[in-house]
Amino acid sequence: MRPTPPPALVRTRTFTPLDALRPRLALRNDLTASGSRAWITPGFGASTAYISLSPGLVCVFDSPECSGLTHQQIGKLGASAHMAWNAAARALRTTAVRATGIEFHVRPASVALGPAAPEGVEVRGLDSPPASWLAHPLTFATINAHFAAVWDTQSPLTYYSRDQRELFVFTSPEDEVVALLGARGVLRYSLGFPLVVKQESAMAANL
């Protein structure tokens, strides 16, 4: 009788409190106000930790116990805001990883926006608002590459979020989306970062 071989060693990943963090997209205007008054997205204060993404757009951090973590709360985790930003993005990305690759749950954009909506989909969230995927280059590049592959296109995709929580992805050019939905909430992918699209820039890009 052959001896039973020892069980194979399985390498397990050590989880830390940072793995419970999630990034979240928010609006902030440092040009017109300071501290708590700078927040356009409500619910944040002067001590809220954030990472600037582009003019007017920032990433804040949520945990299972708290929304909009402060610098002090992140410091108690032994991390800086930048460390939390990277850890939260890695954790968010794992929620879409399957054995077959990256997977997102979607429905036609017209379900929420009506029959005149541009061609595209609404991304459904799991444990985080779908727009959170735009709050870090790792996750934004992941979702951008995914839908470009799904639609087999090399043309720029257009993103849309009315409240920094919902997320729509369109194959239509920016100017068409702005013409149908207005400029508010239209976002552009730029080297992994989200940029707010203004009506005049959308029109100029397609002249």
Residues 112 and 169 in one domain: yes
- Rounded-to-integer distance, Cα 95 and Cα 205, Å: 35
90 and 106 housed in the same domain = no
Shared-domain flag, residues 65 and 106: no
Are 24 and 135 in contact by the 8 Å Cβ rule? The answer is: yes
Bridge partner residues of 168 (DSSP): 122, 160
Domain of 146 in residue numbering reads as: 102-204
Q: Which of 82, 28, 53 is nearest to 194 (CA)?
A: 53
b/e per residue, 80-119, with b = 16+ CB within 10 A?
ebeebbbbbbebbbeebeeeeeeebebeebeeebeeebbe
Q: Is the pLDDT of residue 161 over 70?
A: yes
Check whether residue 81 and residue 53 sit in a common domain: yes
- Claim to verify: residue 134 and residue 81 sit in the same structural domain: no
In a domain, 7, yes or no: no
**Same domain? 196 vs 112:** yes
User: Tell me: the pLDDT tens digits for 176-199?
Assistant: 999 999 999 999 999 999 999 986
- Is the domain of 181 the same as that of 154? yes
**Per-residue pLDDT at 117:** 95
**pLDDT tens, 27-73?**
999 887 777 889 998 889 889 999 999 999 999 999 999 999 999 99
Residue 64 lies in a domain: yes
* 194 and 115 share one domain: yes
Specify whether 110 is located in the same domain as 196: yes
Within-domain flag for 10: no
Final residue belonging to a domain, choices 64, 94, 124? 94
199 in the same domain as 106: yes
70 plus 90 within the same structural domain: yes
How much is the average pLDDT of 66-89? 95
Domain assignment of residue 2, yes or no: no
**Residue 60, domain member (yes or no):** yes
Residue type, 102: I
Q: How many domains does the chain have?
A: 2
Asked if the model's pLDDT at residue 203 lies above 60, the reply is no
Higher pLDDT, 30 or 152: 152
- Give pLDDT, residue 127: 82
- Domain end, chosen from 65, 94, 123, is at 94
Residue 33 lies in a domain: yes
- Asked if 119 and 87 sit in the same domain, the reply is no
- Residue 166 clears pLDDT 80, i.e. is over it: yes
Q: Are 147 and 139 in contact (CB under 8 A)?
A: no
Does residue 23 sit within a domain?
A: yes
Domain boundary among 72, 94, 116: 94
